[in-house]
Amino acid sequence: MSTKMYREIHEQPEVLGRIFKEGWREILDAARALRERNFRSVMLAARGTSDNAALYAKYLFEVILGVPTALASPSVFTLYESKIRLEDCLVIGISQSGESKDVLKVVRTSKEFGAATLSVTNDEHSSLAEVSEFHFFLRAGREESVAATKTYTASLLVLYLFVEALKGADSPGAEARKLPEQAREVLRSEWKGIERYRYADYMVVSSRGFNLSTAQEAALKLMETSYVVAQPFSEADLRHGPIAMVTKDFPVLAIVSPGRARSAMSDLVKTLDERGAELVVMSEGEETLKKFAAGFRVPVSCPEELSPILYAIPPQMFAHDLARLKHLDPDSPRGLSKVTETW
């Protein structure tokens, strides 16, 4: 019997397609209005899975638009009630439910402090949508599994299209339009060799650049569905000390993405292999995967800035399948609910 998480993972191509069909106009209109506001910086507020989407957006704003971008610390607004100077700043709140109290507080207070505000949620009537000047609706349909999957990739696509619209695009680019069908191709592929991780209690997950968000999201999914103590690191940060703990048979999931980050990640895989690490490699390159007992060959190619949308899917599949191998229910992680309230 398939789980809710499995079904929602496989709904992602349709959700991505729906965003192109129904969501582009609201994204374009907001981008045109916000360009006139001449914001000079961006601050992103989110928690959990949405925080990983925010990290992806940070790379988009800084690499593609050259706009300084920060990840908000909600406690600054909630616990410490600090007054932040936010004139000429765009504040974006990301929350699948739109009911995260601390994210709501950041956006509401930022508006009072002079910021332009935008929200991204899967509920167009949510509290966060209502308090924001502009809102993007994810159109992902009801997500029942506690582990967010389709709302995560929907958030990534909406944020990418927003940045493209801010840059001046009148319509989504050809490479972006390939994403729904490419997602179907990814879903038709399978992991090999993950049975060996049935008894894994810990794991390091690493990537670089745009896909640092993928590493963080993969680690979160492993922790909440399989109860694996998964620690994400950028390739650079892993080398700055933590790599010392990686010895023979230490499990590492290496996400080797396309583009500028590929060389650094390929070199890290070589280094970890020499140290005797137990490597799980996710990559486009079949030659890389042939060396290792476990891995996933991504069957499509895309620009680096789009790759996190597709590269998020195999770790979702990995986390789901590993949970089932461990005889766990990925739909009902212990102690978690769909909406987590923090303040």
Q: Distance from first CA to last CA of the chain, Å, rounded?
A: 38
Q: Are 175 and 290 in contact (CB under 8 A)?
A: no
- What integer pLDDT is reported at residue 343 of this predicted model? 52
Ordered domains of the chain (ranges, CATH): 4-177 (3.40.50.10490), 189-325 (3.40.50.10490)
For 12-16, 53-57, 144-148, 184-188, which range has the lowest pLDDT when averaged over its residues?
144-148
Nearest CA to 163 out of 259, 305, 13 is that of: 305
Span 294-322, average pLDDT: 97
For 30-34, 76-80, 223-227, 335-339, which range has the lowest pLDDT when averaged over its residues?
335-339
Quick one: CA dihedral 3, 9, 12, 14, positive or negative? Answer: negative
The percentage of residues in the chain with a pLDDT greater than 70, rounded to a whole number, is: 97
Average pLDDT, the chain: 94
Band of pLDDT at residue 342, cut at 50, 70 and 90: low
The percentage of residues in the chain with a pLDDT greater than 90, rounded to a whole number, is: 91
Span 78-83, average pLDDT: 90
The CB density around residue 99, as the number of other CB atoms within 10 Å, is 17
Per residue in 57-66, pLDDT (tens digit) is 999 999 999 9
pLDDT surpasses 90 at 334: no
pTM: 0.95
For 9-18, 223-232, 283-292, which range has the lowest pLDDT when averaged over its residues?
283-292
Q: Which two tokens stand for residue 68?
A: 């300084």
Q: Which amino acid is at 333?
A: P
Report the b/e string of 195-223 with b at 16+ CB within 10 A.
eebeebeebbbbbbbbbbbbbbbbbbbbb
pLDDT surpasses 80 at 289: no
Span 257-273, average pLDDT: 94
Paired with 136 in beta bridges are 120
- What integer pLDDT is reported at residue 332 of this predicted model? 85
Span 28-36, average pLDDT: 97
SS3 110: helix
- What integer pLDDT is reported at residue 340 of this predicted model? 52
Q: Which amino acid is at 269?
A: V
Q: Are 280 and 295 in contact (CB under 8 A)?
A: yes
Q: Decide which of 19 and 198 is more confident.
A: 19
Band of pLDDT at residue 290, cut at 50, 70 and 90: confident
